[in-house]
Amino acid sequence: MDITPKRVMELREKTGAGMMDCKRALLDADGDFEKAIKLLREKGLSQVAKRAGKEAKEGSVFSYIHPGAKIGVMLEINCETDFVARTADFQTLGKELTMQIAAASPLVVRREELPPEIVEREREIYRNQAAATGKPANVIDKIVEGKIEKFYHEACLLDQPYIKNDEVTVNQFVTDTVAKLGEHIVVRRFSRFQLGEDLS
């Protein structure tokens, strides 16, 4: 099948993948544009898995001040090379995540960082609430676990629904960027400041 340079360029603009990768995907997909996008995405995700063990020591620190100057965020995201840190996709990731943190107010980046006592406190609250309904113990356990999972989706940045597309999580948004850039990316840490917070 004859794949035109224009078609290859369209696929590159849509996916951010390399020219040769786009041409190969179109050939493998028999010219089917959507199928080619799917093939490139699958290839990118397999590359993500391969790169997960690579060290990410480069990157950027991003900042965001919400209009009105009442909320501010600082965020560190790491990648493998300074070259990737300067790309538009990496910079966009940082900007999007600082706005996510400002809007959705997570407590930590990932669920493993939540102090066990906080999780246990939430679990106890949910258990007491469920017990008050008089439901059997096995049903109560399921209710508690469901509420704990919901708590993770509120408290942990990577588990949160992405504010610009709540059909994907922040983690999926990050993974899509990794697939596009072909480097291991780590959302390292953040600080969120709200004017007057914790003042008493």
If one counts the domains in the chain, the total is 3
Same domain, 138 and 160: no
Domain limits for position 175: 58-110+156-194
CA R_g for the chain:
21
What is the residue-level pLDDT of the chain in tens, covering all 200 positions?
A: 568 888 888 877 776 666 777 888 888 888 888 888 787 777 765 555 555 556 778 999 999 999 999 999 999 999 999 999 999 999 999 999 999 999 999 999 999 999 999 999 999 999 888 888 888 888 888 998 999 999 999 999 999 999 999 899 999 999 889 888 888 899 999 999 999 887 65
Q: Rounded to two decimals, what is the model's pTM?
A: 0.70
Whether 200 is in a domain gets the answer: no
Which H or E element spans position 189? Answer: strand 186-194
Distance in angstroms (rounded) separating the CA atoms of residues 3 and 77: 38
Nearest 5 degrees, angle CA 175-CA 13-CA 177?
Answer: 10
Whether 167 is in a domain gets the answer: yes
Distance in angstroms (rounded) separating the CA atoms of residues 36 and 127: 48
